[in-house]
Chains A and B, each alone.
Chain A
Amino acid sequence: MKPFNVFPYDSKINFMRVRMISLAIAALLMFAAIGAMAVNGFNFALDFTGGVGVELRFAKPVEVEAVRSKLAAAGFDNAQVQSFGTGTDLLVRLQKEEGRRNEGTGSIAQDVQAAASSADNPAEVRSSAEISAQVGKELRDKGILALVFVIVGFMIYISFRFEWKFAVAAIITTLHDVVIVVGWFALSGHEFDLTVLAGALSVMGFSVNDTIVVFDRVRENFRSMRASPEEVLNASVNQTLSRTVITSFVALLTVLALYFYGGASLRGMAESQIIGIVIGTLSSIFVACPLLMWLGVSKQDLMPKARDEAALARRP
């Protein structure tokens, strides 16, 4: 019985020939993402900005406008009211009114609930959050710190196991993926909250995983094949193509399950991962190896150094 597969095993697609085009597209996407971030900025969620958010569920569907005017009447002038999901769920966001916080007696959520409710259509507080701007800022700083930690960690580990050119290529590829994912959130204006940050960071894990598998094959082929770097890289991408596509496909399936069944709280995370998986897969095929080629990787880079020196020492 022949194995069932989606990709022909003896594929000989010349990925390296189009390397300038693929690198150009990747760079273009990346700059577009950076541009979106610079122009649009982010729709940061409460987690990062600080403030007050109250999620209300009404007994019957309500008009957003009616709730807004009711809140304004109660003194919440700058309340943003959005509906989400069904017509009965509303999200109310407020800038924090300083001074109220330190009394330690009242709860804004309960005030908002009281103001928004009416006798025939009472609201229930589904969740609420009050976060100081300081905490939000720290969270952003920590996110950046985590990113730096990951990059340094990759640099050290990959340089140790492979070679510095591989480390640089892997890091650029990974950053490319994360930047595009984050850029999508800037472009679409979708809310960027803590779970999206978690999603974006995990994209790094997924993306580097994909890239390393290809690099591993590159290393193996450099040691066993007698061919030019271009041929070696091409062969490596082709040999791992089937695996790359299958892994990504299954991972995509699991993330789709998260997107469709995980509820509203996980949707942002799943969205970032869906984009991350697609981009990460493409970049491990079209970006990682072209970058290696560009950095001038050669057979010598992967030969054990100690033996060379020993061989040199033996020469008269």
Chain B
Amino acid sequence: MLTYARWKYAAFLIVLLLSAVYAVPNLFPQDPSVQVTANRGAPVDEALRTRVAASLQKAGVTAKQVELDTKKNNLLVRLASPDVQVKAADALRPELGSDYIVALNIASTVPDWLEKFGARPMSLGLDLQGGVHFLMQVDQKAALEKRLEATTEDLRVLLRDKRIAYISVDRRPDNSIVATLRDAAAASAAAGVIVKGQPTLLQQMQGNQIVLQVQPAELQKYAADAIDQNVSTLRNRVNALGVAEPVIQRQGNDRIVVELPGVQDTAQAKRMIGATATLEYRAVVEGNAFDAVESGNVPPEARVYYRRERGPDGKPMPILLNKRVIASGDQLVGATTGIDSQSGTPTVSVRLNSAGGQRMFDFTSENVGKPMAVVYIERLPEVKVVNGQEIRSTRINEEVVSVATINGVFSNEFQTTGLSGQEAADLSKLLKSGSLAAPMDFVEERIIGPSLGKQNVESGLKAVTFSFAFALVFFLIYYRMFGVITCIALLLNLVMVFALMSFFGATMSLPGLAGIALTVGMSVDANVLINERIREELRLGLPPQTAIATGYDRAAGTILDANITAFLVGLAMAAFGTGPLRGFGITTMLGIATSAYTAVSVSRAIATLIYGGRRKLKSIWI
């Protein structure tokens, strides 16, 4: 009598169910679609839906469905084919103008109840759907210098504020800062002030000089900050490109990967990513802006700007600003959100360099109690097709993102208070996105055409199917009943790999598909080991049921050792590789883990189910 623990059957059933649920979404076809999102707080509502539907009809495009998703705040137009998709996007772009971003997308057709479990199809890698891939190198040395320059400036301001006369505060090439004071007494006074003001710096007194060192941990933080700021800047810029599901990730200490599925015009994408956005601080000119706009009577020192937020009538609100710039974005060193210690409300702290700080000091000394505005200026490249000719131009977009009252005199460091949490986060993001923390270079650029992507999907799937079919046919012929069992185990193995990859949100790429094909080849091994071992035990004269049990037990140890060593190789590829190597490594590791489970546990459960209950089993079909 051959038995197998009941809880193991339960585990097998649970695994089977979970694998099915998470793997199945990959079978649903995806609709080519056009996604419309609001650009600057414009409304996404039923009215927009009617507008979109009407303009599609005008352009002669029949949409499968126009869905309004109030939760994600977007509108999804599902279409029948990629050709119609492009037509629809071309029709919608001029119609909706710059208030909305119109992006090509592929929408899943997975039913809602499946999505409730978090079951999603795997996203396709660039090599399977076409698009562009950039790898950018962040100049960390420049970033560090910028930060050290700012710290040096802070020290000067600190000493000035505390009325400690200094001879010089200079940055040395070895990343240290040296403050030279008149005498040792002044130096020790300065040291006390610096300990309080800049507690993270390491101090060393040398007569009338203080040598300040930035701690290594702090230097690392500088580098991490720089790359984070560049990532968020890139994210803002890419969002303006209208790309659905872009990937913007840091890689290592000084690289950023940008992947834009579906984009073909790299030149345009590169211009966009390298686009310049900047900021300006300007004084608000008193007077009624609405009247000025209507009458055209604008005071001579002022210009009309529009606010980012919309007024009650849904139109941007005008505001009059001084033509003179107080400080601009290239003088901005950093912006962080925090909580105001006095009011407990969110704030944005801004740091300027010395030139900007001086200008700000001069201005605020004379204008306490008056409002000051932050203007965000973007240069957006635009491509229009006129009479079949591409016309490239740059559009300058200027918006007032914040207006605040000057509460006191300040120079290079100040705070904007009275914001909501969301407003504070948005403002600091905008302030930061105006500038890159460090310059970047394109070190890798790949384009994959859509036709190649399509071909890769086809050939990749074909290869997996054939490799699987070859293995199945061989097993059925060679091991008969145990071949059937092995085939079921292999199938479950494949489903489990797909389920796990979908669950973890992995991206399916061509090397990933190759990895799956190879997984089939490797997972065969565990099954062969078991089946051969059972045959061997049978030849030694053991009764069939004992042979099955011993075969599985004896093979398990071997499978463990063989798989762990092979797993190490997958681990090395995933840990040290990037791109295809990593994808291949991850699939291999997953495949090895699932194949060990399915071969040892699942196939045994099935074998026991088939042969376990028979009392007088004479022979087994192997």
Q: Known contacts A158-B565, A263-B456; is A253 also within 8 Å of B474 by CB?
A: yes
Give the distance to chain B from A189, nearest Cβ to Cβ, in Å: 22
CA distance A143 to B579 in the complex (A): 13
Query: Of the 9-residue stretches B152-160, B200-208, B315-323, B566-574, which lies at the interface with chain A?
Result: B566-574
B63 adjacent to chain A (CB < 8 Å)? no
Within 8 A of B (CB), among A251-293: 251-258, 260-263, 265-266, 269-270, 273
Give the distance to chain A from B611, nearest Cβ to Cβ, in Å: 15
CA distance A172 to B532 in the complex (A): 27
Within 8 A of A (CB), among B417-449: 441-449
B470 adjacent to chain A (CB < 8 Å)? yes
Contacts of A105 in B (CB 8 A): 267, 270-271, 274
Asked if B442 and A130 make an inter-chain contact with CB atoms under 8 angstroms apart, the answer reads: yes
Asked if A247 and B525 make an inter-chain contact with CB atoms under 8 angstroms apart, the answer reads: yes
A246 adjacent to chain B (CB < 8 Å)? yes
CA distance A85 to B539 in the complex (A): 52
A206 adjacent to chain B (CB < 8 Å)? yes
Within 8 A of B (CB), among A1-41: 1, 3-5, 9
A127 adjacent to chain B (CB < 8 Å)? yes
Asked if A102 and B441 make an inter-chain contact with CB atoms under 8 angstroms apart, the answer reads: yes
A212 adjacent to chain B (CB < 8 Å)? yes
A201 CB contact (under 8 Å) in B522, B532, B536, B572: B572
Q: Which residue of chain A lies nearest to B134 when distances are taken between CB atoms in the complex? A: A130
B529 adjacent to chain A (CB < 8 Å)? yes
B561 adjacent to chain A (CB < 8 Å)? yes
B498 adjacent to chain A (CB < 8 Å)? no
Contacts of B584 in A (CB 8 A): 195, 198, 202
Contacts of B360 in A (CB 8 A): none
CA distance A158 to B564 in the complex (A): 10
Asked if A205 and B570 make an inter-chain contact with CB atoms under 8 angstroms apart, the answer reads: yes
Q: Known contacts A250-B474, A258-B514; is A204 also within 8 Å of B569 by CB?
A: yes
Q: Known contacts A204-B569, A216-B561, A257-B463; is A209 also within 8 Å of B525 by CB?
A: yes
Asked if B266 and A109 make an inter-chain contact with CB atoms under 8 angstroms apart, the answer reads: yes
Contacts of B510 in A (CB 8 A): 265-266
Q: Which residue of chain B lies nearest to A142 when distances are taken between CB atoms in the complex? A: B576
Give the distance to chain A from B559, nearest Cβ to Cβ, in Å: 9
Contacts of B246 in A (CB 8 A): none
B581 CB contact (under 8 Å) in A149, A198, A243: A198
CA distance A208 to B572 in the complex (A): 14
Q: Known contacts A146-B575, A243-B529, A254-B467; is A209 also within 8 Å of B462 by CB?
A: no
Asked if A246 and B565 make an inter-chain contact with CB atoms under 8 angstroms apart, the answer reads: no
CA distance A178 to B612 in the complex (A): 44
A80 adjacent to chain B (CB < 8 Å)? no
Asked if B462 and A212 make an inter-chain contact with CB atoms under 8 angstroms apart, the answer reads: no
A99 adjacent to chain B (CB < 8 Å)? no
A1 CB contact (under 8 Å) in B528, B577, B619: B619
CA distance A195 to B513 in the complex (A): 12
Give the distance to chain A from B58, nearest Cβ to Cβ, in Å: 31
CA distance A213 to B460 in the complex (A): 31
Within 8 A of A (CB), among B562-613: 562-573, 575-581, 584-585, 588
Give the distance to chain A from B207, nearest Cβ to Cβ, in Å: 44
Contacts of A301 in B (CB 8 A): none
Q: Which residue of chain A lies nearest to B576 when distances are taken between CB atoms in the complex? A: A146
B28 adjacent to chain A (CB < 8 Å)? no
Within 8 A of A (CB), among B360-389: none
CA distance A143 to B569 in the complex (A): 12
Give the distance to chain B from A177, nearest Cβ to Cβ, in Å: 12
Q: What does the 1/0 interface line of A145-165 toward B look like (CB < 8 Å)?
A: 111011001100110010000
Give the distance to chain B from A88, nearest Cβ to Cβ, in Å: 12
Asked if A131 and B524 make an inter-chain contact with CB atoms under 8 angstroms apart, the answer reads: no
A223 adjacent to chain B (CB < 8 Å)? no
A72 adjacent to chain B (CB < 8 Å)? no
Contacts of B408 in A (CB 8 A): none
A121 adjacent to chain B (CB < 8 Å)? no
Asked if A261 and B447 make an inter-chain contact with CB atoms under 8 angstroms apart, the answer reads: no
Contacts of B271 in A (CB 8 A): 104-105
Asked if B441 and A251 make an inter-chain contact with CB atoms under 8 angstroms apart, the answer reads: no
Please, how many residues of chain A have a CB less than 8 angstroms from a CB on the other chain?
A: 79
A130 CB contact (under 8 Å) in B445, B557, B571: B445
Contacts of A247 in B (CB 8 A): 524-525, 528-529
B521 CB contact (under 8 Å) in A4, A153, A250, A262: A250
B239 adjacent to chain A (CB < 8 Å)? no
Asked if B565 and A208 make an inter-chain contact with CB atoms under 8 angstroms apart, the answer reads: yes
Contacts of B576 in A (CB 8 A): 142-143, 145-146, 149
Q: What does the 1/0 interface line of A118-148 toward B look like (CB < 8 Å)?
A: 0000001111111110110001001101110
B135 adjacent to chain A (CB < 8 Å)? yes
B7 adjacent to chain A (CB < 8 Å)? no
Q: What does the 1/0 interface line of B325-354 toward A look like (CB < 8 Å)?
A: 000000000000000000000000000000
Q: Which residue of chain B lies nearest to A4 when distances are taken between CB atoms in the complex? A: B478
B219 adjacent to chain A (CB < 8 Å)? no
Within 8 A of B (CB), among A151-208: 153-154, 157-158, 161, 170, 194-195, 197-198, 201-202, 204-206, 208
Asked if B449 and A135 make an inter-chain contact with CB atoms under 8 angstroms apart, the answer reads: no
A93 adjacent to chain B (CB < 8 Å)? no
Asked if A127 and B466 make an inter-chain contact with CB atoms under 8 angstroms apart, the answer reads: no
B518 adjacent to chain A (CB < 8 Å)? yes
Q: What does the 1/0 interface line of B79-104 toward A look like (CB < 8 Å)?
A: 00000000000000000000000000
Give the distance to chain B from A62, nearest Cβ to Cβ, in Å: 17
B452 adjacent to chain A (CB < 8 Å)? yes
Asked if A206 and B267 make an inter-chain contact with CB atoms under 8 angstroms apart, the answer reads: no
Give the distance to chain A from B441, nearest Cβ to Cβ, in Å: 6
A3 CB contact (under 8 Å) in B135, B463, B535: B535
A239 adjacent to chain B (CB < 8 Å)? yes
Q: Which residue of chain A lies nearest to B518 when distances are taken between CB atoms in the complex? A: A202
Asked if A209 and B565 make an inter-chain contact with CB atoms under 8 angstroms apart, the answer reads: yes
Give the distance to chain A from B269, nearest Cβ to Cβ, in Å: 9
Asked if B565 and A242 make an inter-chain contact with CB atoms under 8 angstroms apart, the answer reads: no
B113 adjacent to chain A (CB < 8 Å)? no
Asked if B536 and A257 make an inter-chain contact with CB atoms under 8 angstroms apart, the answer reads: no
Give the distance to chain B from A126, nearest Cβ to Cβ, in Å: 5
CA distance A130 to B576 in the complex (A): 22
A78 adjacent to chain B (CB < 8 Å)? no
B449 CB contact (under 8 Å) in A125, A131, A253, A260: A125
Q: Which residue of chain B lies nearest to A208 when distances are taken between CB atoms in the complex? A: B565
A101 adjacent to chain B (CB < 8 Å)? yes
Asked if A57 and B572 make an inter-chain contact with CB atoms under 8 angstroms apart, the answer reads: no
Give the distance to chain A from B480, nearest Cβ to Cβ, in Å: 8
- Please give 11 more A-B residue pairs, beta carbons under 8 A apart, in addition to A247-B528, A255-B518: A9-B536, A105-B274, A128-B445, A129-B447, A135-B444, A145-B576, A153-B571, A204-B569, A216-B557, A239-B536, A262-B514
7 A-B pairs with C-beta separation under 8 A? A4-B480, A125-B449, A134-B137, A153-B572, A202-B518, A213-B525, A243-B532
Residues of B that sit less than 8 Å from A by CB: 127, 135, 137, 266-267, 270-271, 273-274, 441-449, 451-452, 455-456, 459-460, 462-463, 466-471, 474-475, 477-478, 480, 510-511, 514, 517-518, 520-522, 524-525, 528-529, 532, 535-536, 539, 557-558, 561-573, 575-581, 584-585, 588, 619, 621-622
